[in-house]
Amino acid sequence: MPFKNPNKKLYKSIDECRICASKNLESILDLGEQPPANSLRKSLSENLPAIPLSISRCLDCHTVQLNETVDPEYLFKDYVWVTGTSATAGEYSQRFCQEMEKRCAYPKLSVLEIASNDGTFLKVFKERGHTVLGVDPAENIAAIANEAGIPTIADFFGNSTANTIVKEHGKVDCVFARNVLPHVPFPADVIKGMATALKDNGTGVIEFHHASAILDELHYDSIYHEHMSYFSIHNVSSLLERFHCYSFDLINSPISGGSIVLYFSKEKRDKSIDLTNAMRQEEQIQTEASEKWQQFATAAVEHRERLLTILSQEKESGKKIIGYGASARSSTLLNFCGINNKHLDCIADMSPFKQSRYTPGSDILILHPDDAFLRRPDTVVLLAWNFKDEIISFLKNEIGFHGKVIIPLPHMPEIINL
């Protein structure tokens, strides 16, 4: 589904499943027309496209997916999320490396990361003596990684890129793609490329926001134009097997408020107890069932009403409110709920790529936390709620904030006092 003709629309609507090509798709949730979540502006006079944001479920392979595909060049070539700005991600990168080492055949590894961002995760591997290479389509972020000494190819990854890497560098001992598979229009090409790049006795990893967590904890804010598929363990395992790769183990990740790290190999290995139990649990709670997803859609509408009621009560009582975390997922939350600069004075965010810009659709100014808290807010809406512990600690110990914190998700909104 190329976007080479500049006269064509910025997006296309799918008419078949991204995974199995079935045309049997059922509608789940319509979040309205929204700008792409990371299309931040330096000026409110800049126009943004309004693109439908809705999901469907395939009746054949049961994968939940976005109905629209936005031009990947528009979404990813100039990116604003930098992994290194998150302390949680930095701490987790150490554990991620150690867990990978446990499951690999050799003490010194050749490591390839797909969508490696600023190289935060590869840096740990390099420091531990491994040879590393990253691939990332965001030219601005890839430049940061290269300057930091993490060799990074600025390109989209697929089987063609994998063949070039194998020709120039050889096959690798381990390949990993963290929170990448949902970001690509057709995930099969990424899996095929990972299989091409991996040695026969190598170890691969796919980390993804688990559909069970999205369902059970109402993560409807994880639906935005960059996230085109919403996977279960069964979905990903079936996709791997199409390219003669087999899942054998998993661990949980702290990223996204509920992610799975799924290990796979070309050789069939015994499935771990953890993997077997997790797959059984998916079946028991009916992660792939239509009824569960329809209930999810109903709950999202109820959540919107509750959050708006809380914010309205705060504003009516004269409270000054700011947000914390101008994440991509917060864009979905703000636009779906109709929250804008009339509700929030600003949003605090540590990323220099986001500061002094405005949120897409909701038109809220993003500031460095030091500047945001000079406005002396009474209430903070924790938009980046999936980093709750890290941000709460920062608010208490670094900012010295005393007041209400509204935690919009998971589940229904919660209010705590600091």
- The domain tally of the chain equals 2
Beta-ladder partners of 247: 264
Same domain? For 281 and 324 the reply is no
CB 214 within 8 A of CB 222: yes
Look at residue 9 and tell me if it is in a domain.
no
Same domain? For 173 and 104 the reply is yes
CB-neighbour burial class of residue 267 (10 A; exposed 0-12, middle 13-18, buried 19+): exposed
Look at residue 42 and tell me if it is in a domain.
no
Residue 201 sits in which domain range?
83-285
- Residue bearing tokens 């006079």: 45
Look at residue 31 and tell me if it is in a domain.
no
Look at residue 370 and tell me if it is in a domain.
yes
Residue ending a domain, among 259, 285, 311, is: 285
Same domain? For 94 and 202 the reply is yes
Domain with 368 in it: what CATH number? 3.40.50.720
Same domain? For 93 and 234 the reply is yes
In SS3 terms, 259-285 reads as EEEEEEECCCCCCCHHHHHHHHHHHHH
3-class SS of residue 349: coil
Residue ending a domain, among 243, 270, 285, is: 285
The torsion angles phi and psi of 168, rounded to 5 degrees, stand at -90, -30
Tokens of 106: 């050799």
Domain with 272 in it: what CATH number? 3.40.50.150
Same domain? For 278 and 298 the reply is no
Look at residue 48 and tell me if it is in a domain.
no
Look at residue 67 and tell me if it is in a domain.
no
H or E element, residue 347: strand 347-348
3-class SS of residue 357: coil
Nearest Cα residue to 262 out of 100, 126, 125 = 100
CB 117 within 8 A of CB 126: no
Same domain? For 411 and 350 the reply is yes
Same domain? For 350 and 219 the reply is no
Tokens of 156: 């989209």
Same domain? For 187 and 316 the reply is no
Q: How far apart are CA 18 and CA 183, in angstroms?
A: 12
- pTM for the predicted model, two decimal places: 0.86
182: cis peptide before it, omega within 30°? no
Look at residue 228 and tell me if it is in a domain.
yes
Residue ending a domain, among 285, 305, 320, is: 285
Cβ contacts of 113 within 8 Å, gap of 6 or more: 121, 122, 132, 133, 134, 135, 175, 176, 177, 178
Same domain? For 279 and 409 the reply is no
Same domain? For 119 and 225 the reply is yes
Tokens of 312: 């309205």
Output the tens digit of pLDDT for each of the chain's 418 residues. 333 334 357 899 999 999 999 999 999 999 999 999 988 999 999 988 899 999 999 999 999 999 999 987 777 666 555 565 567 777 889 999 999 999 997 889 999 999 998 899 999 999 999 999 999 988 888 999 999 999 999 999 999 999 999 999 999 999 999 988 998 888 999 999 999 999 999 999 999 999 999 999 999 999 999 899 999 999 999 999 999 999 999 999 987 777 999 999 999 999 999 999 999 999 999 998 999 999 999 999 999 999 999 999 999 999 999 999 999 999 999 999 999 999 999 999 999 889 999 999 999 999 999 999 999 999 999 999 999 999 999 999 999 999 999 999 999 999 999 9
